[in-house]
Amino acid sequence: MNQAKGKVCVTGASGYLASCLVKQLLLEGYHVVGTVRDPRNEKKHAHLWEMEGAKERLHLVKVELMEEGGFDEAIMGCEGVFHTASPVLSHSSDPQAELLKPAIEGTLNVLRSCKKNPSLRRVVLTSSSSTARIRDDFDPNTPLDESSWTDVELCQRLQMWYALSKTLSEQAAWKFSRENRIDIVTVLPAFVIGPSLPSHLSCTASDVLGLLKGETNKLEWPERMGYVHIDDVARAHILVYEHKAARGRYLCSSAVVGLDQLVSLFSARYPSLPIATTRIEDTKELHYDYNTSKITSLGLKFKSLEEMFDDCVTSLFEQGYL
């Protein structure tokens, strides 16, 4: 463990990415306040308490994302806030109520509590690479960078509700932070791959499991997508928090590959698994690459596609899903 550091808050602490972030923060000596829906749910949070340093420097606080002022207690006295909590629904009968409003208002609730905290140094918001790539006016031969923003109207037309929720919530966060002089940095991860610390699988891990098990009737998979190891995403959050000169948005992606390339990789490395090869209709947003020089300039070195999927598959076997 490194020398003891300051106190930070991680929202949605028991989630897939948040759990990995909490683990790395504890290992580096931070005191972590994690927000969860029910701190008494020992089964759901068992993996957090097993982490090194958790008994000494982890505190879980009950918070509801949509409760105004609900984050006040958790955030007060923290020097940093990592807002990772956000609703994820692949299909919704009412996306406005179930996805868009919770994502936007939840983010603003966090920032309103941040505004009340005189100890606050910086907020790190977990956004998504989907806030940069869904547009039909870019040159596919020029990698996308942090200056690119998703076209909201195109998102609505394609009914890409998750991408829309992340785009609108990040835009709302930037507006609120500018108006209230809050130091905020956003991390835009591609599709996050790697081991799952929680025993319950997230939507992300469940999608990967479906692909590996050949469940073509349950799965839609894009022709082309960016991928990144979960450890790298957690590391990126800490890097942009600790580097005083960090500003703006940071794309976080190790590799952008097509479905055929991914299936070939799986077939070679996991021949015993019935890999799915289902596709969705091609859309203009799929032909892209990323320029990630901004985050690598802070010292991040990405793990390979092979490493992230090997770690993911090993974790799924260990937890009995494969």
Which helix (H) or strand (E) segment holds residue 183: the answer is: none
Give the number of other Cβ atoms within 10 Å of residue 22's Cβ: 29
8-state DSSP, 229? E
Contact predicate 99/92, CB 8 Å? yes
DSSP-based three-state secondary structure for 52: coil
| Model pLDDT, residue 9 | 98
Sorting pLDDT into bands at 50, 70 and 90, what band is 23?
A: very high
Mean pLDDT calculated for residue range 27-49? 94
Distance CA 36, CA 70 (A): 11
Cα–Cα distance for residue pair 153/136, rounded to 1 Å: 11
Neighbours of 54 (CB within 10 A): 19
Closest to 111 (Cα-Cα) out of 40, 5, 186: 186
Interval 167-209: pLDDT, tens: 999 999 999 999 999 999 999 999 999 999 998 888 888 888 8
1 pLDDT exceeds 60? no
Q: What is the mean pLDDT of residues 51-56?
A: 96
Ordered structural domains, the chain, with CATH = 7-194+228-254+289-302 (3.40.50.720)
Q: Hey, how many other C-beta atoms are within 10 angstroms of the C-beta on 297? A: 12
Bridge partners, 35 (sequence order): 61
Residue 284: pLDDT band (50, 70, 90) is: very low
Locate all alpha helices (DSSP H) within 198-304, ordered by sequence: 203-212, 230-242, 259-269, 293-296
Residue 251 has pLDDT above 50, yes or no: yes
In tens, the pLDDT along 81-128 reads 999 987 765 555 777 877 899 999 999 999 999 999 999 999 999 999
Question: Distance between CA atoms of 64 and 71, rounded to whole angstroms?
Answer: 8
The pLDDT confidence band at residue 56, using thresholds 50, 70 and 90, is very high
DSSP category for residue 7: E
Per the listing, tokens 């790539």 go with 133
DSSP string, 103-149: HHHHHHHHHHHHHT-TT--EEEEE--THHHH--SSS-TTS-B-TT--
Give pLDDT, residue 14: 93
Whole-number Å distance between alpha carbons of 53 and 190: 29
Q: Mean pLDDT score of the chain, rounded to an integer?
A: 90
Q: Percentage of residues in the chain with pLDDT exceeding 90?
A: 70
Round to whole Å and give the CA distance between 258 and 244: 36
